[in-house]
Structure formats: C-alpha cells, structure tokens
Structure 1
Amino acid sequence: MSRYVIVTSRDLYEYASSSQVLELAGALKNRGHEVTLYLIENGVLAARRGAHLAARLSDLSRAGVTVLAEDVSAKARGIEQLADGVRLSNMDELADLIVDGCDKVIWY
C-alpha cells in the first residue's frame, strides 16, 4: 500500500479535468492506498460549504480520503465554512506530508 498526496491548485470548476482529479483520489483509495487530497490556491473554492463539488469532497472524505484545504488560500477567497469532511490545513502540514508522509506526490 502506498501513500499518495494529490495537490490541486486549480479551480476545479474551470479545470476541464477536475473530475479526473477527484476520480483518481477515489480510485486510489478503493485500491487500498492512503490518499490525501490537498486543496490550495483556487483549488479551495470547491471546499466551500454548499458549493457544487463540496458534496463530492465530502463523499471522498467518508470513503477514507483525507481532504485538506490550505488556510491562507481559503481566507483570501472569503471561505469561512468548509464542506463536511474537509479540514483546514497549512503549508507546514503540506511540507510534512510531502517530505515524510507520502510515497508519491501528484500535483495538478
């Protein structure tokens, strides 16, 4: 079993392949891997409570994917409430995940 960190900095509403990012996270988890989906910059827009993709992020979280939203990015975009299962994080945690907490990093 591998540990994956998938980082997306793109707005998942505008990015043509956004569904593939979410599907990849779910597929890796279904195959028994440990998966963290880290939303940063415009990627945090999907994590806003009530947003169209928020339900998909909550579903991933319920399936065992760790879903994190970078705190400075969320604050800069006025996001005060996150979707269920999405947790605020920071750059220190992302650095720790990349250096010590994963086998593979995929950055979209």
Structure 2
Amino acid sequence: MGDIIKAACPCGLTSKQIYRGIGFGYFETGYFCEPAYCDTCGIVEGKDASKSFSKCPSCRSKVKFYNPQLNEQEEETTGEPAFSHYLAGKKQWHCPKCKQDTLKFENLGCWD
C-alpha cells in the first residue's frame, strides 16, 4: 500500500499525482515509487526507487530522490523496501524550478 501525493510550490511548479510506495504488483515487479526531481528541467515526478539509476524523462540526466538514503544506493535493491516517513519530517523541500526550499507535498489519498 502507498500514498498518492502531489508536489506544489508557490513559484508555480505542480507535479502530477505521484503513487508513492508499493502496490500489489510489487512482489512480481519489484517496482516501488518515490518522488524525485531534476534540477535541469525543473520537474518533480515519481520514479522507480529500486533502480540504481533513474533518469529524467526530458533530459535523461540522473534524478535526485527526496529521500536522501535512495541517492546513496549504487545497486538495484531487492527484497521488501523499508519505508520511512521522511516527508512528514520536513515542511518544505527543494523546488527544482525556483531552486528554493519552498516546495510542499500534499497527501491526496492511498492506493494499493
């Protein structure tokens, strides 16, 4: 089970819905999604955190995850992911569009 979240910043950046966490298909695919950003393109979106390298869909450069532990991994992960509540620990995050710590995540609901 996971959360549906959306990123928004006063500068005008708004993400699409991000299906954070795992769904029923995780045990077949190993896919789990976490919010990530590209400073070059100024976007926030959900990326597969089980991969060792996730690319921006626009410029194809490496994205950064908001969860700092995921930026440190150098290999693809296997097994059940350990979810943390890192998003609740901070009120404002880095916005890749205006480069300020003014981005907020809004919880829209849950998904399976």
Q: Same fold (TM over 0.5)?
A: no
Structure 1 or 2, whichever has the larger Rg, is 2
- Judging by fraction of residues, say which structure has more strand: 2
- Judging by fraction of residues, say which structure has more helix: 1
| TM-score normalised by L of structure 2 | 0.30
